[in-house]
Structures are given as structure tokens and as C-alpha cells.
Structure 1
Amino acid sequence: MRPPPGDGPATVLIANPSADLYGSDRMVLEAAHALIGSGYRVVVTCSVEGPLIRAMRDAGAEVRVLAVPVIRKSMLRPRGMLGLIRRIVVDLPRMRRLIAEVRPRFVLENTLTIPFWTLAARTRRVPVIVYVHEAEASLHPGARALLRAPLRWASGAIYNSETSRKASRAPALERMRRAATVVNGVAAPAEAPPPRQDIVGPLRVVYVGRLSPRKGVDVVVDAAGLMRERDLDIAVDLVGDVFPGYEWYEEELRRRAEEVGCGDRVRFIGFRPSVWPELAAADVAVVPSRADESFGNVVVEALLSGRPVIVADHSGLREASAGFSSAIRIPVDDAAALAIALENVITRWQTMRVAALADAELARKRHDPSAFRARFVEVAEGMVPARRPVTLPNRSQPATGR
């Protein structure tokens, strides 16, 4: 559906907190593709430089880097709140000026972590849609209420899963039917080599994502140590990097790998803009997050690659893995359970291999990007007032007034 006629293409301003290419970044990139493909002019603003900027420009979007406050957990404490207030006083006028310059039909605010775009947009009388990727049900109720506050003033909310919709529900938007779930669309790899016929040599395990405590990467390292204790050969690739300020965690992971006798079996690959080569080289993917996840794109990516995947059994990971026979669920924060699951992959390899190939086809149908794009634009357009066509003056009639 193309925007209604007027003085040129309608504009959408997309506000994103970072410029990485992790889960929520990849999905807002898909949303940008959807809007551009429907005839919109898309302007993207990120708080920092990063790989997402080039990807957005390649998609046909304009990009403006504008440092604005991003809510972190540390800011939800009294001292952090004071610093946040100071940032708002300085940055809010700049955000309002960008909105005035771009003149968007609506603002798409990606994640709940940049709530002041809602304030800036509403003070400019511009509709704002919040694209929600959070499912922080374990947060303190006060912090969770603060994080969800922008939804009270939003024109609409698009949730990336039923898990995030349940955790960040906006009753007023639900009553007005301006809340909807659009499940993530994930493009399949151009080529997906099938899993190897037999496990010869080490079991090749891959973790893809941030290296952070909440993601449970240390659980993978400990499970590798337990596998070695059982004389089971294993090789682990950790694909991702740390968030600035968490460098200590990577150092801790490296020390732990040495302590459990897997210093030569755990490789730190770093961030990769495309994860397909690493998934193709693996036998099995692991997603051991401790904290709530709104969904699990990496679960879908592993399935699209035809690889079995072992996931922590909670929140959005449960939703993302539902219905796939090659997805194995394990208790949260349990290295022993992960080691047992990895051993079962070895002993049941032929069954798991066949199931993973069948699941790849199911994942392609369930997460088709073209279906996601069409649905996203349809939902977004239904949440904002129709654009009024420009009415030109009738030159045949005399002008009135003074």
C-alpha cells in the first residue's frame, strides 16, 4: 500500500537507540525496507555510529546521527535519574528540531529505551508508534512502569511477539485497537548447506549474540567443560562482542574456559554482520539466556540454517522455538542440562539432522520477510490518521480576505 497523494512521498522518522546489527536493530532494518518498499521516504536517527547506518543507507534511507538519552538499567537508580534529567534538558530541543525539519507523517520509536522521542513527537503534534522488543517481566515493578510509560502517550504499539505484548501491555492502546503483534520476519540464507552426515571429530557448537551475563554465555563455557570431563570432544564458537563497559565479562569467559580445560576449544569470533557462515560451520546452536527475551531471532536463524538449536525454556525463546522438533528446551542457567542436551544431539544425530532439515522449511514459511513487511506497513498505517491531500487554491475564484 502506498501513502496517499500529497506534496511528495510521506516521511517516516525512525528513531533507534544504537547502530548495531543485533536483534532489534535487524528488525527495524526490516521495517525500514517495508516502509521504503511501500513508497515512504524514511529518515533514520541513531544515537551513535555503527554498522546499522550503512545497512540503512543501502536500503535507501537517510540517516542522521543524533546523540540522545538511552535508558539503561543504571539510569533507573536515583543517581542515574539525575544524570538522565540533565541529558533531557539538553537533548530534547534537538530532537524537536529534527522532527520539525523532517516533517514526518509519524515517528517509529524502536524499543522502549528511547522514550523521549515520544515526548518530542507529541509536543510537535506528530503521531508516534512504539516498536516494542522488550519483555522485562523480571524488572522491579517501579522500573518496569517507568520503562513502559511512553506507551501511555503513543499513537500505537507494534509488538515483535506475544511475549513482549504480554509483558509490556498498554491497556489504553488495546482498547482503541492500536496495539498489534507482528512476528519477526527473518530472511533465510541464500545458501544453506545441510548438516554433515555424521559427527566425526568434535561436536561443533555455536553461540550467536552479545557476550553478556544476561545472555548466559558462561553457561556454554561451563557445559563445554562438563563435556570434556566425559571425554566428549567439543568445539565452541562464540560469535558476538561485549557492550562497552562489559569488557570484564569477556575476560572472565576466557579465564573460565582455561579453568574448565577448554581454552583450546572455545573460540572468540567477535561480531559478524552475517551469521550464516558461522551457523553453516556448526552442528548445533545454543541460546542459553538467563534473562527474559521478547523473542529469539537467533533461534529462527539457526532453524533456517537447518541446524538443531538448544534454548533456555522461558519467555520469548519458548515462543520462538514452539512447533519445531529440532529445538531442545532446557532449564535456565543449568550447565549440566546443556551438557546433557549436547550429548543427546550426538547420540541422536541422524534423527536430529532429519528434523532440522524439515524445520528449515517450516521456519521459511513462518518467518517469511515479505509477509512481515506487508503486515508491518498495514498495521502501522492503521495506527496513524490518514494523510490529508494538499488542497490547491482555485485560481478562477477571487481571493478573499486581506
Structure 2
Amino acid sequence: MRLLVAHPSPDVYGSDLQLVETVRGLHQAGQRVTVVVPAHGPLIPLLEDAGASVEVMPFPVLRKAYLSLTGLVRLAAALTVFWVRAARLWRRVRPSRLLVNTVTIPWWILVARAARVPVVCHVHEAEDDQPRPVRLALTAPLLLATRVVANSRASRDVLVRTVSALGRRTTVVYNGVPGPESVAAARSRTPNGPLRLVLVGRLSPRKGTDVTLEALAEVRRRGIDARLRVCGSVFAGYEWFEQELRSRASDSDLAGSVEFLGYVAEPARELEQADVVLVPSRVEPFGNVAVEALLAERPLVASRVQGLAEIVTDGETGLLVTPGDAGDLADAIQRLAADPALAAELASAGRKDAEERFGAERYRDEIAAEVLG
């Protein structure tokens, strides 16, 4: 069987890396896979190594920039070109099935329907904070999909609350995250000794980077020598947010305690050196970084929100805090700083749980069965 996969980005963040595991699963199932992306980028060689051929074809991806009269005109112009390019690609690849790896490129679903081939949509988003008209616009096209796969119960619930008919065709397959070949031992710490904090994620209000800076300032006011390393680049259009973060980090109560590393291709090394990993997202449909931290056997503090609340069992495999609450986040950091034994206990239990529930091989088998079923 020839499969075509449409993916909205050539970058290598959470859903992008998850696509690599999807391709591995399909390749292991004996399928020939072609992935189409809108631009060149670092994801392409990873997909090729996983067994896919890759086509680069510019196509529009739904962004906030289109939510204006001028934006809609630009989108209409881009779609006019898209239909021609998509038809050419379709004739060249001749797929018998299409996988659309997001809700932000619904026109690909229409292409498959016009060609009368099955189409599966893999949902990585849970836009619960969006106005209902926006959620409806993103979700309604899924009614044209043959089946829908969601990466968490939270993602599925958002879909069903928006369009109840999707409940009958949507299944949940938790992401699968490859763990390190070996787990490096955590460094020994004394209670309230120097503390290394790490946050991996795009610079965006949704990821809660601003909350982390305020929590860090509070922890330092309490007398803990905590320092933060932030791994991630900014989303296009959110440059203002990065400027705000850098300005806040230069204030006297944080000066010298925050490092912005930009995009880090291999964040495993940063996680390995962390005393505590933070995932303070305000919205998080799943949270691959949280699983990566657990697999690295590092103490994890995450927001009690959406997919993160499905990954972490509070007080057993990590600590959960109220999203957007810097004081709650500071309390959790202080708790782990003061009790290295608790931190080690949570990290050990977290690793065992993550290996059982979020292993890559389990994911590859399950996603291939859903796409091909």
C-alpha cells in the first residue's frame, strides 16, 4: 500500500518527532510512505531515516495571521495554487490512503475525499481555550475523515465537545517516546542546595515560560540558589513574547539566573543535567517533553492540565501544579529542592510508569493498526 502523509511543518518539536515514530510504525508494517511538508527543514532527514520519501510542496497552514479580512484573501489565493499542486502530487504518488497529521491543514482531507480514498486525521491539538466558532472551524472538517486518532483523552474530549458526532469515529493512541539508551545517574544534592531547572519548549504564552520566570524569582526570594535553562525558539509572530521574557530575566531578582539556549536539537543532554524538569504549560494536549523527562529519570513538575494530567500521577510519578500559578509552581520546586529523597523516589517511579505506558514500540504498533485499519 502507498500512503501519503500531510504534515504542516519541517521543524522538530513534539508532534513533528511523533510523526517520525508514526512513519517507523507504518514502515515496519510493510507500507510505502511518502510525507509532504510545506518547506525544507531538519525534520526531512529524520523522516527519510525512518523509511519515508519526502516531498516538499508549499501549502497553507491555518494560523492566526489568516483571521482577518486581508488574511482570508491571502488564504484564498494560497488555496487556489494549492489545488493545482496537490493534484499534481496526487497523480505522481497515487496513494491508496492519506494520513493528515493535524487539524490545521483541512484542505488535504478534501483532496482525499475528492480522490475517493480513505483519510485518517491524527489530532495533536486540544484548542479548548479558543472561541467556539474557531474550534468549530478547526473540528468540523474531521467529519469528512474516515477515522480520527487523538493523542490523549483531553484531545478527544475537546473534539467531542465541539462536534459530538466525532465521538463514534475517534480513538485515543497515546504518543510513544523513545527513551535514552542508558539513564545517567542524577547528581547528588543536599537539601536546599543549588538547583538546576530545565524547561524545554517553544517560547509561547501557552508553554508558560513567563510563569516559570515568576516562580524562579519567588524560589530565589526564599533563599534557594535555583537557576533555569530554557531550551526552545519562539513561534513566528510571538517575538514580542521573547522580548518580554528576556526583559524580565534581566531584572535584578533574576539577573544571571536564566539562560535562553534557543532551539536545542538534542535536549536529552539538558534533561540529563537537570535537577528538576518543568512543564508549566497552560494548554498541553499531550506533552512529549514530560515523558522524556520521566524516561530520563528526572523529577518532573507539570501543570495539572489536559494531557499532562494523564501522564503524571500527582505525588507518585511527579508533581502537578495549577496552570498559570507561579506561587504553586514555586511551592513544588521548593518541595523538591528541600527533599532530594522525594525527588529521587518520584523520578524512579516516573521512569517505570513511562516505559510501560508511553513506549515507542507500543505506539508504532497501535498507530499503524489505526491508520491501516
Q: Tell me which interval the TM-score lies in, with the shorter structure as reference length.
A: over 0.9
Deviations 1:29-68 (A, max 9, x none): 1100111111111111111221111101111211111111
Query: Does the CA-based 8 Å contact 1:19-1:25 persist in structure 2?
Result: yes
The correspondence for 1:304, drawn from 281, 292, 295, is 295
Which digits, 9 at most, give the CA deviation of each residue in 1:229-285, with x for residues without a partner? 222101100011112232232222111011152221111112122221100000111
Aligned counterpart, 1:17: 8
1:374 paired residue number = 365
What residue number does 2:217 align with? 225
User: CA contact under 8 A between 1:96 and 1:121: conserved in structure 2?
Assistant: no
Partner of residue 360 from structure 1, selected from 346, 351, 371? 351
1:386 is aligned to: none
SS of residue matched to 2:262: coil
The SS at the match of 1:339 is helix
CA contact (8 A) 1:99 1:121 kept: no
Number of positions where the alignment pairs a residue of Structure 1 with one of Structure 2: 370
* 1:93 correspondence with 2:92: no
Q: Is 1:254 aligned to 2:246, yes or no?
A: yes
Which residue in the other structure is 2:272 paired with? Answer: 280
Answering whether residue 157 of structure 2 is matched by residue 180 of structure 1, we say no
Does residue 160 of structure 2 align to residue 161 of structure 1? no
Report the Cα distance in structure 2 between the residues aligned to 1:349 and 1:323, rounded to whole angstroms.
17
Distance 1:116 1:322 in 2: 38
Distance 2:115 2:96 in 1: 11
Deviations 1:4-43 (A, max 9, x none): xxxxxx1111111001111111111110011111111111
* Structure 2 unaligned regions, length at least 5: none
Q: Which residue identity lines up with residue 15 of structure 1 in the other structure?
A: A
Which residue number corresponds to residue 215 of structure 1? 207
Q: Secondary structure at the match of 1:168?
A: helix
The question of whether the paired residues in 2 share the 8 Å contact of 1:76 and 1:143 is answered with: no
Rounded to whole Å, the distance in 2 between the matches of 1:253 and 1:172 is: 42
Give the whole-Å Cα distance in 1 for the aligned partners of 2:315 and 2:358.
13
C-alpha displacement at 1:201, in angstroms? 4.6
Measure how far apart 1:102 and its partner are: 0.5
The CA distance in 1 between the partners of 2:353 and 2:20, in whole Å, is 23
Look up the equivalent residue of 2:273 and give its one-letter code.
Answer: A
TM-score normalised by length of structure 1: 0.88
Q: 2:22 & 2:317 partners in 1: Cα distance?
A: 29
Q: Is the 8 A contact 1:225 1:261 kept in 2?
A: yes
* Contact 1:127–1:154 (8 Å) recurs in 2: yes
| 1:332-355 C-alpha deviation (Å, 9 max, x unpaired) | 211121111111111121122122
TM-score, length of structure 2 as denominator length: 0.95
Task: Describe the SS at the equivalent of 2:99.
Answer: strand
The 2-side partners of 1:20 and 1:202 are apart by 34
Match status 1:235 vs 2:231: no
Contact kept, 8 Å, 2:321 with 2:328, in 1: the verdict is: yes
SS in 2 for 1:336: helix
Alignment of 1:128-167 (within 5 A): 128-167=119-158
Instruction: Report which of the two structures shows the higher radius of gyration computed on alpha carbons.
Output: 1
Distance verdict in 2 for CA 1:223–1:43, change over 3 Å: same
Whole-Å separation in 2 of the counterparts to 1:359 and 1:227: 24
Code of the residue aligned with 1:334 in structure 2: it is D
Q: Distance in 2 between matches of 1:36 and 1:78?
A: 43
- 1:299, distance to aligned residue in structure 2 (A): 1.0
Whole-angstrom CA distance in 1 between matches of 2:183 and 2:119:
39
Q: Secondary structure at the match of 1:277?
A: helix
Residue 197 of structure 2 corresponds to residue 202 of structure 1: no
- Uncovered stretches (5+) of structure 1, i.e. residues with no partner: 1-9, 383-402
Q: Percent of aligned pairs with the same residue?
A: 40
Q: SS in structure 1 opposite 2:250?
A: helix
1:118 equivalent in structure 2: 109
Partner-residue secondary structure (3-state), 1:45: strand
Q: Secondary structure at the match of 1:231?
A: coil
1:343 aligns to what? 334
Q: Once the 2 structures are TM-superposed, how far is the Cα of residue 70 of structure 1 from its aligned partner? A: 0.3
